[in-house]
A and B are shown apart, each in its own frame.
Chain A
Amino acid sequence: MVTIDNLYFNYSKHVVFNDVSLKLEAGKIYGLLGQNGVGKTTLLKIMCGLLKAKSGKCNVNGYTPYLREPGFLGELFYIPEDFIGPDLAVNKFARLRGEFYPNYDHNKFCRLMTEFEVNGNSKFTKLSFGQQKKAIIAFAISTNTKLILMDEPSNGLDIPSKAQLRRVISQTSTDDSCIVISTHQVRDLENLIDPIIILDKNGVLLNASIDEISEKLCFEFSPSITEKAIYSEQTLGGYINVCRNETSRECKVNIEALFNSVHQNRELIKDIFKK
């Protein structure tokens, strides 16, 4: 679906990616995590053609994104973090733009709008930030494109809307589609994202499925710090300890603890997940 080889990108003197390689497959919902400024949004923009890689290759479904060919654009939808809606009624926006997406389903859009409780007859400019977000997410999902890129989709959504978003995204995922969600709000999407990609300023720190992570790491809650813990975090009533999973027992992955342990033990994590 998406192949990135030896990607190099910089903004003036600030190098964002240096020799980054990544492969994304269809049928999965990827969580793209990273600290502020590591390049999550930049990576999404390179994948959808808004930015051009300075060197290296990025290939999406056989297309070079930066060329922005109609065939490529018709198979992809990008939801930016700050979506600026036009001065147009939502339903009219959807109907006019939907014509350009071969698999667009207007009935699905109307159903999603009802589920999100957003009035389709209102203009974007009259909706709140959260409502605009929900409207554009509804439209993105209704296009039934093979690749959906979402940059912080749960930002600005209220608690019930986050639950609706989780439900809608999980229903959207099919075997030939791929969804990439860049987020800081891992708790909003914890049970949804699999695999997990963690970026840092040097490139990709981790790209593994939840199964692979739980095979290799264990996330335990205990009253004290475990001796063998590679990372510990104090929480209410005790500590979350991240250890190597030496006994191959099943455990639930705590994404926040995973993120912190990956950042504090970069080389060790690379070594553990070396393929």
Chain B
Amino acid sequence: MKEFFDINRFFKLVQKESSERFHMMLKVAAIFAALLTGYWLSLIVFGSDESTAAASSRASFIFFSAMLSMLIAPFNLYKSYNHRKGGIDYVLLPASVTEKYLSMLINCVILLPLLTFCSVLLVDTAITTITPDIFNGFAISSLNLGEKFAKGYVEALIMQLGFIYCNLLFRKYKVTKTLLSTIGLYIFFAMITVFLITVVFKDDFQMMNDMNVNIRIDKISDISNIKEFENFSSLFKTLYYTSQIFFYGLLPAWFIFGSYHRMKTIQY
């Protein structure tokens, strides 16, 4: 069991990883904070007397920064993991693959986004204190954490698991190949969805033509929120639930298992 996972060794690993990568995390957080500062300076220099930045839009920027830092974390913090020379030192570190993977997740999913979030929020609070006429209201009061998390965090997390997998899979041009793979997969699934909606389930969606309602679908799971969902055919509902299981169950499981397997079997 100790070969698979040891809690003391795991904590040592997390401490070591965070300590070694702290300056990289700080750099990323500083870049996003600098972007906000740059925006503020541009309002001062180029803006008119009425130029202001609403607290809600700045709150969105803070969340966007945290999400983006989370997505780029694997390429930033663990880019040399599968490098034929640079990765040897880490792969031969006496810790299990489980511990290394969990430590990677902690740094990529929690520490870096949290550091970015806090840094940008801190800078926003400081700027708002200095120039309340330009930055209207504190972003911290517009965060609506529960709502924001519920809306996009799960999808961002699944995407990040995919990015971690791609970071381990590709040795060269990681970011380019990952983005191309993501776009390719998105186009593929979008084409299937369009085909299903316009051809296979044409009749199901035809009945919505006469409805006087606004339907907003940001993601697949929103389909079940449509009032008329119960009237859709059972085949449609089966496919819908299958797609839910695929995107929220099988896909992340594939990424997690794939990453673990890659870390376990990679050769140098």
Contact = CB atoms under 8 A, between A and B. Distances in A.
B149 to A, nearest CB: 33
A82 interface: yes
B12 A45 contact: no
A272 interface: no
Interface stretch (A25-33, A69-77, A109-117, A179-187): A69-77
Given A78-B88, A88-B20, A97 B93 contact: yes
A50 B267 contact: yes
Nearest to A93: B20
A70 B92 contact: no
A109 B86 CA distance: 23
Contacts of B16: 96-97, 99
Contacts of B268: 45, 50-51
A70 B88 contact: no
A167 interface: no
Contacts of B86: 84
A49 B92 contact: yes
B79 to A, nearest CB: 12
Interface in B79-128: 80, 83, 85-86, 88-89, 91-97
A86 B89 contact: yes
B3 interface: yes
B94 A52 contact: no
B19 interface: yes
Interface in A63-110: 68-71, 73-74, 76-78, 80, 82-84, 86-88, 92, 96-97, 99-101
Interface of B: 2-3, 6, 9, 12-13, 15-16, 19-20, 23, 80, 83, 85-86, 88-89, 91-97, 264-265, 267-268
Given A70-B9, A78-B92, 18 more contacts: A50-B88, A50-B92, A51-B268, A68-B91, A68-B97, A68-B264, A69-B3, A71-B2, A71-B94, A73-B93, A73-B94, A73-B95, A83-B89, A84-B86, A84-B89, A97-B16, A99-B12, A100-B94
26 contacts: A45-B268, A49-B92, A50-B88, A50-B92, A52-B267, A69-B96, A70-B9, A70-B95, A71-B94, A73-B92, A73-B93, A73-B95, A74-B94, A78-B88, A78-B92, A80-B85, A80-B88, A83-B89, A84-B85, A84-B86, A84-B89, A86-B20, A86-B89, A88-B20, A100-B9, A100-B93
Interface of A: 45, 48-52, 68-71, 73-74, 76-78, 80, 82-84, 86-88, 92, 96-97, 99-101
